Amino acid sequence: MDKSAAVPPAPKTAPYLDSSQPLALRVADLVSRLTLPEKVNQLLHENLPVDRLGVPGYNWWNEGCHGVGRNGRATVFPQVIGLGATWNRELVEQVATVVSDEARAKHHAAAAAGRRGQYQGLTFWTPNINIFRDPRWGRGQETFGEDPCLTGILGLAMVRGLQGADPTYLKTAACAKHFAVHSGPEQERHVFDARPSQKDLHETYLPAFETLVRGGVEAVMGAYNRTLGEPCCASRLLLVEILRSRWGFGGHVVSDCGAIDDFHQHHGVTPSAAASAALAVKNGCDLNCGCTYKDLIEALETGLITEAEIDVSLRRVLATKFKLGLLDPQEKLPWSGLSTEILDSPAHRELARRAAAESVVLLKNNGILPLRPDHESILVTGPTAANTTALLGNYYGLSPRLVTIAEGIMANSAEGCRTVYRTGCPLLSPLAPGVNYTYPTAAESELTIAVVGLDPSLEGEEGDTVASPTGGDRDSIELPAVQLEFLTELRKHARKLVVVVTGGSAIAIPEVHEMADAVLQVWYPGCEGGAAVADVLFGRTSPSGRLPVTVPGRTADLPAFSDYGMSGRTYRFAEVEPLYPFGFGLSYGRVAYGSLSSGAQPVSKGGSVTVGSTVSNTGSRPVLETVQCYVVPPRDWPSAPRATLVDFRKVALAAGESRVVEFTLPASAFAQTDAAGTKVHHPGCFGVVIGAASPGARAQQLGAPSPAAGTVVLA
Q: Which residues are catalytic?
A: 256
DSSP class of 99: H
User: What is d(CA 529, CA 88) in angstroms, rounded to the nearest whole number?
Assistant: 18
Omega prior to 178 cis, within 30 of 0: yes
- Cα of first residue to Cα of last residue in the chain, in angstroms, is 72
- Tell me, what amino acid is at 670? F
Please tell me whether residue 244 adopts helix, strand or coil conformation.
Answer: helix
- Tell me the C-alpha distance between 402 and 40, whole Å: 43
Angle between helices 529-537 and 405-412 (to 10 degrees): 50
Q: Distance between CA atoms of 515 and 291, rounded to whole angstroms?
A: 54
> What distance in Å separates the CA atoms of residue 705 and residue 590, rounded to the nearest whole number?
8
Q: What distance in Å separates the CA atoms of residue 689 and residue 613, rounded to the nearest whole number?
A: 10
Q: Is the dihedral of CA 222, 223, 227, 231 positive or negative?
A: positive
Counting every residue, how long is the chain?
A: 715
Nearest-angstrom CA–CA distance, 150 and 129: 10
Q: What is the DSSP string of 428-481?
A: SSPPPSS--THHHHHHH-SEEEEEEE--TTTSSSTTT-SS-TBTTB-S--BPPH
Q: Which of 638, 626, 609 is nearest to 690 (CA)?
A: 626
Nearest-10 crossing angle of helices 23-33, 307-323: 130
CA gyration radius, the chain:
26
Beta carbons of 647 and 655 less than 8 angstroms apart: no
User: Dihedral angle at the C-alpha atoms of 692, 694, 697, 700, nearest 10 degrees?
Assistant: -20
**Which amino acid, one-letter code, is at 207?**
P
Give the separation between CA 576 and CA 559, rounded to whole angstroms. Answer: 11
In 516-641, alpha helices (H): 529-537, 570-573
Residue type, 14: A
Closest by CA position to 551, among listed 518, 576, 515: 576
Separation of alpha carbons 22 and 314, rounded Å: 17
The Cα–Cα gap between 137 and 318 comes to 35
Q: Do residues 4 and 38 touch, judged by C-beta distance below 8 A?
A: yes
What single DSSP character describes residue 47?
A: E
Q: Return the H-helix or E-strand segment holding 355.
A: helix 346-359
How many Cβ atoms sit within 10 Å of the Cβ of residue 33? 17
Nearest 5°: phi and psi at 143? -100, 170
CA dihedral 435, 439, 441, 442 (to 10 degrees): 180
